[in-house]
Amino acid sequence: MKLIHTADILLDTSYSSQALTPEVANRCRRRLREALERILERAVSWPADAVVIPGGLFTQDRVSRETVAWLRQAFEKIRPIPVFIAPGPQDPWLPTSPYATEPWPANVYIFREHTWSSHTLTTHPLTVHGSAHDGSVFPQDRFKGLVVDSDDRIHVALLSGKEAALYPDVPAEEGAFSAMELQKQLAYVALGGHHNVAAVTETSGPTARYSGSPEGHGFHETGDHFFLEVEIRPRDGGPPEVRVQTVPVSRTRFTVQTIDCTAFTNADALVRAIRDRASSENQSTLARITLTGACAPALRTEMASLSEVLAPHFEALTWDDQTDVDDLYEDIARENSSPGMFVAQLNRELRDAPDAARAEMLRRARQVGLAAYRGHSVAVKGIKDNAS
């Protein structure tokens, strides 16, 4: 039995929290579709006996009709391979959700009840168990009502939730469950709700894996992303043998890098370092670079052109210049000069700052003012020429 396991694709998700422009965000959304397309193509070419999606197919409040139409077409294309979908918290089964309102192809089976139900394939010895999230809180007992027969069939469960070992602080009503609760009669548990590949480490239970999302959704989801190829072989008198293969699929790469500028005397070396560390071939890289350390004057003057030089290597590039640090200001504050007095006064105010916003403003005022004392200006954040 061959299964393709993917989850948390979140088609049509919003990237507004990542401060990406709509153009870049649209490209990211397009690549989410393309990732699912590649996964479904793999399902045909492998060929898989079924595709399982334990939640997170799309973002409920943002999914467009056009995307739903595309999804229907994409699933239609892989007929007769069945697609099992267990709606999760991001794409709950509601009377208004596309799951309920759209006519899905015959090979798509969507779990509609918030209690456990099962679907048995007549063409394969496979029974798939699942439930749908209905938009409310999760039940205290996640596995209440899950009945797995001890027969010759292969039983697979689809579950969207937070495994306790990975999420120790998440309560049950937010989807927490323990790997120990997984029933042994299950051959494989396809998990959703965690955006990176992860195995649930409960040796006595069934094989349970998070496939993660096929593409990152922001700078909090850096690195490569995968889907899972699951092969289940029945064994006489024992639990079936399960082999899980992670397959890289992502084309969007979010990366967060901190680079100490102290060692760089000019922009060329810094550009090389950023390029080597942050950019990636065959993938569209979206980078958030934080510059720290001491910045040489020559480098400071060339800093404004960095974005332009690096632009071809990145789809989106965000800077955070923290090259001047507080300790340096403490030294300057000791000087018997106006800059020293200026820095000393702002250092004092910084120490007494009532909140983070005020502190940030004072920090910036200190940086800008000191730079002006020295006859150079700090690039203005927010002016397009200076922004990435």
Partner 1 sequence: MKLRSVSIDGYGKFAGREIEFAPGLQIIIGPNERGKSTIRSFIGDMLYGQKRSALHRLFDETNELRTPWHNPDCYGGRLVYALSDGQVIEVARNFDRKREQVQVFDHTSGLEITQDFELLRNKEVNFAAKHLGLSKEVFLNSATITHFSLEHLGDNDALKQIREKLMSLADTGEEEHSAETTLALLRERIEAIGQPSARSKPLPSTRAALMLLDQELTAAREREESTAKVADERRALLGETTSLRQERLELEEMLALHQQRACKAQCEEADALSAQVDKLNQRCAKLRALEEFPLKSVPKVQAAQQEVDRLRAQLKRTRAENKTVQDQFNAERQHLNDEQDGGVIDLPEELEGRFTDLNAAVQHTGERLKESVAALAEAERTLAVNQENIEKLPDFSRISSDPVEWITQLASSYDAARRSREEEARTLAEVTADVDERRQNIAKDHALFKEVSDFSEKAREYDLKERVLEQETTRVQTNMGALEEQRDDIRDDLPGMLLLVGLCGLSIAAIVVAYFVTKNYNILILGGVIFLAMLYFLRNYLLTHKRLVEIEATICNNGIPPKPHSEEEDGDAQIAALMAETGCETVRELEATYDAYRAASAALSARIHVLHEQEARAEEAAERVPRLLEHVTEMFREVGVTVETEDDVQRAAGSVIARYQEYREAKKNIAESHSQIDRQNKERVRLEEMLARDREQLVSVEDALRKIMTAAGIAPEPGRSMASALRAYRNATSERREHRARAELLQDRAHTLERQIHEEQLEIEKADQELARLLAHAGVSNIDDFQHQAERAREFREQWNQRVQLQERLDAVLKGEKIEALRAEVAEVVIEGDPPAQSREELTTALDTLNARIEANLEREHALHISITERAAGGRSINEIEESRTVLAKRMTDLEHELEATSYAMAVIDEIARDKHARIAPRLAERASAYLSEITGGAYQEIDLARDLGIRVRIPDTNELHTAPEKSLSKGTVDQIYLALRLALVQCVSDVGEPIPMILDDPFANYDDHRLERTLKLIAEISDENQVLLFTCREDVVRAAETVNAPVIRL
Q: Which of 4, 10, 27, 29 binds partner 1 (CB under 8 A)?
A: 29
C-alpha triplet 322, 325, 326: angle, nearest 5°: 140
How many CA atoms does the CB half-sphere of 368 hold within 13 Å? 9
Over its C-alpha atoms, the chain yields an Rg (Å, rounded) of 26
Q: Which stretch binds partner 1 (CB under 8 A): 216-224, 232-240, 270-278, 370-378?
A: 370-378
Q: Say whether residue 93 binds partner 1 (CB under 8 A).
A: no
Least Cβ distance, residue 86 to partner 1 (angstroms): 23
Q: Which of 2, 33, 62, 119 binds partner 1 (CB under 8 A)?
A: 62
Q: Say whether residue 259 binds partner 1 (CB under 8 A).
A: no
Q: Say whether residue 151 binds partner 1 (CB under 8 A).
A: no
Q: Say whether residue 135 binds partner 1 (CB under 8 A).
A: no
Q: Say whether residue 258 binds partner 1 (CB under 8 A).
A: no
Stated as kind and residue range, the H or E segment containing 289 is: strand 284-292
Q: Say whether residue 1 binds partner 1 (CB under 8 A).
A: no
> Which residues on neighbouring strands pair with residue 191, listed in sequence order?
159, 210
> Which residues on neighbouring strands pair with residue 252, listed in sequence order?
284
Q: Say whether residue 101 binds partner 1 (CB under 8 A).
A: yes
Six token digits for residue 52: 């399982």
Q: Which of 19, 44, 74, 172 binds partner 1 (CB under 8 A)?
A: 19
Q: Say whether residue 346 binds partner 1 (CB under 8 A).
A: yes
Six token digits for residue 380: 């203005």
Q: Which of 11, 20, 303, 306 binds partner 1 (CB under 8 A)?
A: 20
Q: Which stretch binds partner 1 (CB under 8 A): 19-27, 109-117, 215-223, 249-257?
A: 19-27
The answer to whether 157 and 5 have CB atoms below 8 angstroms apart is no
Unique residue bearing structure tokens 């789809």: 315
Query: 312 to 341, contacts with partner 1 by CB under 8 A?
Result: 325, 327-328, 331-332, 334-341
- Strand pairing category for 176-177 and 198-199: unpaired
Burial class (CB in 10 A: 0-12, 13-18, 19+), 222: middle
